[in-house]
Structure 1
C-alpha cells in the first residue's frame, strides 16, 4: 500500500537469494555488507530499528538487540545459532530461529571432500605433479573400505555423512546422546572416548556449546587411534588448535581437514599454514549453489512465521 512505511529488516551480509528477497518484498531490507563489523550492524540497528535480523556473518549480542526496540526475531542464514546470544534474546522476548537442514547436503558433501582429500592426499599429489614429480612408486593412499568412521552428532548433516560412509563400505559408529533415532547400519557408542579409540576417521557434526568447547584437546586427541584422520565442518571452537597442531606434527594423526576455526577469518600468519598434512578451507562447507537458496528461503520463512505469530497473538 503506497504511503505505508515498510517494516525494516537487517541482513548481516551483502546479499540474499532472489527467492528469499521475493518472500521479504513487504520489508525494507538493508544489507550491512560482507564481513560487517559489530559497529556497522549496531549503527544500522539504531538507524533502522528492524523488526527482524537475518544473520549471515558476524555475531549478534545484547548491545545490538537493545539498539533495535522493535526487534522480534533473529533468523540465522544456516543452522548454527551459536553466533547469537540466545540468553539475551530470550530475556528480551526475541525469537531465535535457524534454517535447520537448509545446508545439510552441502556440509555433508564438504566433510566427505575433506575426508577423501586427507585419505587420498589429493592436494599433496596435485602439488607434487605440478612441481614435476611422479610419485607412483612411492605413494600409498589410505583405503576407507572396511575402516571405521566415527560420527560425532547425528543431526541431518551427521546422518548424511554417515550414509556416505556406509555406501563406501565403512563401519560407521556414532555418538549423540540427544539423537532420537540412529540410522540403519550405524552403531551407537556410549561415550566419546570409545568413539575416538575405535575410529579411523572422526568427523565432527555437533553444535558448539559451552559444555563441549575445546573438547578435542591434548588429552582427548591422545585417545585417538595412531594414524587417524580428523575432519571438522562444524565449529572451530570444538578443537584446541595448538593441541591439534601438535598431534599432526608428531605423527599421532595421519591428517586433518578443517572448515572452521577458533577465530574467523583465520588469523594470518597461523601455525596451521606450515602443517603439510592439514587441509584447510574457509568455512564454506555450507556455501553451495543450492544451499544459498535454501538457507535464504529458510531464514526468510522463519522471519515471516514469527512475525505472523506475533501479529496473531496481539
Structure 2
C-alpha cells in the first residue's frame, strides 16, 4: 500500500476516509524539516499533505516515489516550488477552503483595532470606566484597501461593503470583480486607505512590502490587518510606525517567525492586537481544508503512474 505523509498530527476524519486506499503516516504535532526528510526516506510517500514545517528539496530527494505535494490550506510558501517543478512533482493547494474563516478573522481584527476592544476590556476588568475619555473609530464611509483579491480578500470585501465601507483593492491576477470593489494600483492603497488588509501570498517580490517607506505614504492613523503571511511586513518598521502614531493599530494573525518567541517586541506593546495564526483554524475550515487537500492529492495521483 502506498504511503501519504501528513506533516502534522492529525487530519479530519472525512479526509482520512478519502485516503482509505493509502497508508497515512503522521509526522507529529510540530515536525522539523529534518524529521520530514527522515520520514520521507523511511516511507517513500507518493504524496505529502503539508500542514506544518517546510518541505524542501532534501525531502523530495528522499522520496523517489513522490508525485504530489498538497497544501492543507492556500499558502504554499513553505514548499520549495522550484525544486518540486525540477523533479516533476506537482504542488497543489486547497484554495478557498478556509476563506470564510480567515475573512472573519480579518473582520474581527479590524473591528478590535477600530473599537479598542482589547484595551477597553482590560481596563474594565481593572475597574475603570473610560466612557468620558474614549472615542472609537467609526468604519462606515471609510476606505478599506485590500492587497489580494482572491477568495479570502473578496469575502472580506463583502463584509466591509455591508458595513458601509468603500472598498479598493490591488491584485494583478484578479478578474471579474464585484461592483463594490474598485481596482486600484498599490500607491493608491497606501495613500487612500483608512484600513489596509493583506490577503496575498508571500513571494520574493513582495517580501516586507509593508516597510518604513510604504508606511510613510499612508494616512496618519491607518489600521493595518494581516491574516496572510508575516513575511509581508518589516516588523521593525511597523513597530516604529505604531509607536509614532502613523499606524493607529495593527491586527496581526501571522508573523515573520512562528511560533512567536517570548520577548518579541510586539508583546505588551500598545496598539497591537495579536492572534497565533489561527485565522483558518475553525472546525469547519479544518474539515474543508483536509478534504480539499486529500482530493487534490488523489486527483494528481489518479492522472499519474506511480512507480512500484
Counterpart of 2:304 in structure 1 is 310
Counterpart of 1:52 in structure 2 is 47
Structure 1 distance, partners of 2:305, 2:175, is: 33
**Residues 155-170 of structure 1 mapped to structure 2, 5 A cutoff:** 155-170=150-165
Find 2:245's aligned residue among 247, 251, 257. Answer: 251
Find 2:111's aligned residue among 98, 116, 140. Answer: 116
Deviations 1:91-139 (A, max 9, x none): 0000100001000000000000000000011111111111111111111
SS state of the match for residue 14, structure 2?
helix
Counterpart of 1:196 in structure 2 is 190
**Residues 234-249 of structure 1 mapped to structure 2, 5 A cutoff:** 234-249=228-243
| CA shift for structure 1 position 311 | 3.2
Q: Is 1:99 aligned with 2:81? A: no
| CA shift for structure 1 position 43 | 1.1
Q: Is 1:139 aligned with 2:127? A: no
SS state of the match for residue 53, structure 1?
strand
Find 1:24's aligned residue among 7, 16, 19. Answer: 19
Counterpart of 2:204 in structure 1 is 210
Give the TM-score, by structure 2 length: 0.98
Structure 2 distance, partners of 1:186, 1:76, is: 29
Structure 1 residue ranges, 4+ long, deviating more than 4 angstroms after superposition: none
Structure 1 distance, partners of 2:301, 2:280, is: 27
Deviations 1:151-171 (A, max 9, x none): 111001000011111000001
Counterpart of 1:3 in structure 2 is none
Structure 1 unaligned runs (5+)? 1-5
RMSD: 1.3
Structure 1 distance, partners of 2:28, 2:218, is: 41
Counterpart of 1:41 in structure 2 is 36
Counterpart of 1:266 in structure 2 is 260
Structure 1 distance, partners of 2:169, 2:144, is: 8
Deviations 1:202-239 (A, max 9, x none): 00001111000011110001011100100000100100
Structure 1 distance, partners of 2:47, 2:172, is: 33
Q: Is 1:232 aligned with 2:216? A: no
Structure 1 distance, partners of 2:173, 2:97, is: 20
Counterpart of 1:172 in structure 2 is 167
Residues 236 and 263, structure 1, Cα contact 8 Å, conserved in 2: yes
Structure 2 distance, partners of 1:227, 1:35, is: 38
Structure 2 distance, partners of 1:186, 1:7, is: 46
| CA shift for structure 1 position 181 | 1.9
Residues 19 and 293, structure 1, Cα contact 8 Å, conserved in 2: yes
Q: Is 1:15 aligned with 2:10? A: yes
| CA shift for structure 1 position 274 | 3.1
Q: Is 1:289 aligned with 2:283? A: yes
Counterpart of 1:152 in structure 2 is 147
